[in-house]
Structure 1
Amino acid sequence: MTRAPSAVPRPCLSFLFAPSLRIGPRFLSFLVVALGAGVPLAADTIYQASARGKPVIIQRDAIVVKEDSSLLVYKHFDLKEQRVAKVFLYKTSLPYSVETSSPGARQQIVETWKRFGYKATLVDDAGKSTHVFDVFLDFFPPGGRGSLLESVPARTTLPLLIEGGGADELEFSKIDRLEVQGTRLKVTQRDGQTIVGQFLMPTDKPAEVRVLGITDHYDPASADVFDFSLPLARLKEIRFE
């Protein structure tokens, strides 16, 4: 594997001007840590050679989990989605290179991810509480059989079919508490408003929605972006921080 140059330029900030990017307190705090004083966070840096052969950073503060002759797979904190995501890069005529980091640096970046994703205490149907970082929803075949439904994107919003009519998609940032009562969901928002309804499945395929995230036991070397996974129907309550 080709080593990239040790000098790491500051990252491109063009993503800041994307119209779909939600600017919130977590996002701004992440930028302060990532860019403050010009000091990089840690972990792996991924380059791609330009047409002139010059290495250009395409991702920093990542963790590479797989690399072979045709594919590069890495994890990083997605600022737009405010969750840890996995990216697949298929190698082309313009080669990629990776400046790898130590296990300690990878653990450091995971700790940073845990600070800026959505945090919550989840209570399952047996009464067990688990503190989970970087919480998000994803979709799988019913009963946990098979891999996730890649055609349905993961999200940090709650699609809700509201009792009495209407539908909404509530951002996690606006939710204080979610109570699960069978198929009935009771959402208490941070402004005190209460909304009751049912989960609105964003696909017509048979699917199961699961709550995913990472715990204090998460292994930075894991190929997954979570080590906690439980169907929403198996939970009694989610208390966001």
Structure 2
Amino acid sequence: MTLYDESIESIINTYNTVVKGVDSNALKSNNQKGRTYGGLIRATKGKLQEHITHSLVKIAWKELGGKESDIDINSKKIHIPIQQNYLNKLIDEKVKKRIANNLQHYTYKLSVDKHIYIKKKFVMGIECKSYTENAMIKRILVDFDLLTSIHKDLKCFLFQLESQLTGDYANIDKATIYGSRSTHTIMSYFNCRLHIITLLKGERTIDKPIHKNFKPLSKKSLIKAKNILKDNLIEFL
């Protein structure tokens, strides 16, 4: 796959080529290199979703009239500093003193799949998944909660090919997506606001993976996702 596709039609062509060929390619690599078949399938689908997301962001920005030089998409690690009030929770005075004397060294390096910088400002983070279930949502929300602790206005997105979140996330033709009870309940415990975008119609079925039971990626779905991105990027022109 190239760095990104420059049109909706090109994204669909890439999707069709990758999904329809991933099974035979994984079997071939498994036989030749000893790599696990399942791991290759998962990795390929994950990279495909990252590629689609990257492409949609670039297309959205271009359609808004944004300058190519103003946008940067990367996944460089961001240092999350330790919170000083954490020291008040520590009982062992030796541990507390050691940390207090070296606060600048206590950080956690974190990244999500796509960091969108406009004019060198980190404005949007996007996690890319071939599918998501609620157990995975918790990890995604933790990451975004940490990022928004230092980037207060960060826009947080999850782009998934398929949904396994229940509710109506997979009913992508609906004007209003109400989500699922369990997902909304989990999200209510976090400070960040997560936008969930699903690209393929129909809830994911474990025994019917898309590389064996092909699901088409529609132009309508991609345009909807692109327009949501445009609505969230326009303020940064």
Tell me: higher relative CO, structure 1 or 2? Use CA pairs within 8 A at least 6 residues apart.
2
Give the TM-score normalised by the residue count of structure 2: 0.26
Larger strand share, 1 or 2: 1
